[in-house]
Copies of this chain bind each other. A is one copy, B any other.
Amino acid sequence: MDLHQWPIEGRSKMPPVERPLPGPRAKPHLAVPVALDRDGARPLVAQLVEALREAVLSGLLPAGERLPSTRTLAQDLAVSRTVTAEAYTRLEAEGLLAGRSGSGTYVARLNRAARRTGTAPAAPAPAAPDPAQAPPRPAFALRTGETGPVHEGSDGWARAWRATARTAAPTRYQDAAGLPRLRTAIADHLARTRGLVCAPDDIVVTSGTTQSMDLVLRTLLRAGDTVGCEDPGHPVVRSLIRVHGLEAAPVPVDDDGARVDVLAGRAHAPRLMHVTPSHQFPLGVRMSVGRRLDLVMWAREHRSWIVEDDYDSEYRYNGPPLPSLAGLDRERVIYLGTLSKVLTPALRCGYLVAPGGLPRRIAELKDIVDGPLSWPVQHTVLRMLTTGALERRVRRTRLHYARARTVLREALEPVADLVTPTGLEAGLHAVLLLADGLDGARVARRAAELGVEVAPLSAFRHGPSPTEGLVVGYGGLTPDDLAEAAALLVRAIAEHRP
């Protein structure tokens, strides 16, 4: 299993350009027309990205086609070179283009229906950890979902709250969809950081991903409907499916993400599929472009919904953030964003982006069952978005978390033969795949005795676990604490050496 490698087809499995078409020109011009609307509200980069994406996906620009240089294209289109360079970077991140140093940029080869299975043969499920055997409160919690502190002045957090304290709070009930100015700021933020173009009215501000998902399920599904979900996946999704009286349809995950072939092979199509394409939770793989297209096609064909849970895409350490699945399809994809990873899960602020009349329906439901998110919270997040404090915090904490993953990786060296860390390209957690003969639940139990809380991978499975592993959240610890906790974890692993 090779889950920790760059999971895009073109890069890790087959070179994107095996035989670049040798063009007659030294500086090829673009083979398809691109019309840019210079008076419109949409940024030129977004327009160019969309035009090129359409050309690639429709086959107008075939795999292997060499693209003009950023300079040539900029001249052809009469735009600045920044625009073309940024568009290429984004499309490379999406996996639609591939750059080779010295040789130019090419259309990547897309594997539209990968059928490989990345998982080992099924094994019996390990016993769940017995809480009675664990000490009541471990010294270190290697728990997913925890973040670094947010109170220091350098984050702009305290400043934003003080600004809220100075501002007259409204005295009446507000729009349950969220403050219009905050939704505008979120739309700007999504266009800038995720290549996702949407209007403020497409957005509903929520208390986070769990409420977003709850509102989506309440609005779109009824008891007895089926929900597809990644296996392994987030336990909260399983819990939501249970409390709504829905059927779970677990879909296995391989190196390319959720296996759409298994999903498509079901006799009854789930009404909705929950995925984490940017950084699969918990395995950490990125859904390949081919798999993304398969998923969107499946949803269109069955008129099913896709929920894209984009919980930690701000933290990617090897290259720019990936574009969203919702950027590929605005009809069937509902995008969930959260500030839990960027700020703190104790803030409770997130949002959803949905197509058509859905945001209005969801806001109407939210009005009846909850109301808008707290005004001071909305006002503070608005302030952090518009002053740039949020982006500064992301940049600062990205360095912090990058250091933390280095600490973790180095600490694991003594058991390098027993552990394969995966999912470290992004986010605030890793999965340690365990060598044959090691039992994740037993290692986790021993780690708890030593004072370290860590979850076995089996806890994230719907059924029997074919692979053994540990899910390690490293976001909430200082480097020193993390080194100490990892050393104890290494001891627990080494003690179980087969």
Copies of this polypeptide in the complex: 2
State whether A243 and B161 are in contact (beta carbons under 8 Å apart), knowing that A141-B172, A171-B344 are contacts in the complex.
no
Contacts of A365 in B (CB 8 A): 243
Which of B145, B146, B147, B171 is close to A149, meaning CB atoms less than 8 Å apart?
B171
A238 CA / B200 CA spacing, docked (Å): 30
State whether A348 and B368 are in contact (beta carbons under 8 Å apart), knowing that A151-B167, A171-B150, A172-B146 are contacts in the complex.
no
A8 CA / B301 CA spacing, docked (Å): 65
Of listed A158, A346, A349, A377, residue having the most chain B CB within 10 A: A346
Contacts of A345 in B (CB 8 A): 171-174, 371
Number of interface residues of A (CB under 8 A): 56
Q: Decide if A373 is an interface residue (CB 8 Å cutoff).
A: yes
Q: Decide if A165 is an interface residue (CB 8 Å cutoff).
A: yes
Q: Decide if A372 is an interface residue (CB 8 Å cutoff).
A: yes
B171 A346 Cβ-Cβ under 8 A: yes
A152 CA / B374 CA spacing, docked (Å): 19
In the complex, the chain B residue whose C-beta lies closest to that of A375 is B346
Contacts of A161 in B (CB 8 A): 161-162, 164-165, 376
B373 A348 Cβ-Cβ under 8 A: yes
Contacts of A171 in B (CB 8 A): 146-150, 344-346, 475-476
State whether A346 and B173 are in contact (beta carbons under 8 Å apart), knowing that A368-B239, A380-B376 are contacts in the complex.
yes
Q: Decide if A157 is an interface residue (CB 8 Å cutoff).
A: yes
Interface residues of A in 315-349 (CB under 8 A from B): 344-349
B368 A210 Cβ-Cβ under 8 A: yes
A347 B370 Cβ-Cβ under 8 A: no
Q: Decide if A277 is an interface residue (CB 8 Å cutoff).
A: no
Proximity bits, A373-409, B CB within 8 Å = 1, else 0: 1111100100000000000000000000000000000
A208 B349 Cβ-Cβ under 8 A: no
A243 B368 Cβ-Cβ under 8 A: yes
Q: Decide if A207 is an interface residue (CB 8 Å cutoff).
A: yes
Smallest beta-carbon distance A91→chain B, Å: 36
State whether A207 and B210 are in contact (beta carbons under 8 Å apart), knowing that A150-B171, A173-B145, A374-B374 are contacts in the complex.
no
Q: Decide if A199 is an interface residue (CB 8 Å cutoff).
A: no
Interface residues of A in 133-187 (CB under 8 A from B): 141, 143, 145-151, 157-159, 161-162, 164-174
Q: Decide if A236 is an interface residue (CB 8 Å cutoff).
A: yes
B165 A370 Cβ-Cβ under 8 A: no
Smallest beta-carbon distance A169→chain B, Å: 5
State whether A236 and B348 are in contact (beta carbons under 8 Å apart), knowing that A171-B149, A172-B143, A377-B377 are contacts in the complex.
no
Contacts of A143 in B (CB 8 A): 172
Q: Decide if A89 is an interface residue (CB 8 Å cutoff).
A: no
Q: Decide if A211 is an interface residue (CB 8 Å cutoff).
A: yes
B476 A172 Cβ-Cβ under 8 A: yes
Smallest beta-carbon distance A213→chain B, Å: 8
Smallest beta-carbon distance A374→chain B, Å: 4
Proximity bits, A469-493, B CB within 8 Å = 1, else 0: 0000001100000000000000000
B370 A346 Cβ-Cβ under 8 A: no
State whether A214 and B165 are in contact (beta carbons under 8 Å apart), knowing that A148-B171, A346-B171 are contacts in the complex.
no
Contacts of A347 in B (CB 8 A): 169, 374-376
Proximity bits, A46-69, B CB within 8 Å = 1, else 0: 000000000000000000000000
Q: Decide if A36 is an interface residue (CB 8 Å cutoff).
A: no
Smallest beta-carbon distance A31→chain B, Å: 51
A344 B208 Cβ-Cβ under 8 A: no
Contacts of A371 in B (CB 8 A): 207-208, 210-211, 345, 348
A406 CA / B209 CA spacing, docked (Å): 47
A146 CA / B169 CA spacing, docked (Å): 12
Chain A residues at the B interface, C-beta cutoff of 8 Å: 141, 143, 145-151, 157-159, 161-162, 164-174, 207-208, 210-211, 214, 218, 223, 236, 239-240, 243, 344-349, 365, 368-377, 380, 475-476
A-B contact pairs, 12 of them (CB 8 A): A143-B172, A148-B171, A151-B168, A151-B169, A158-B166, A161-B376, A162-B162, A173-B345, A210-B368, A240-B368, A348-B375, A373-B374
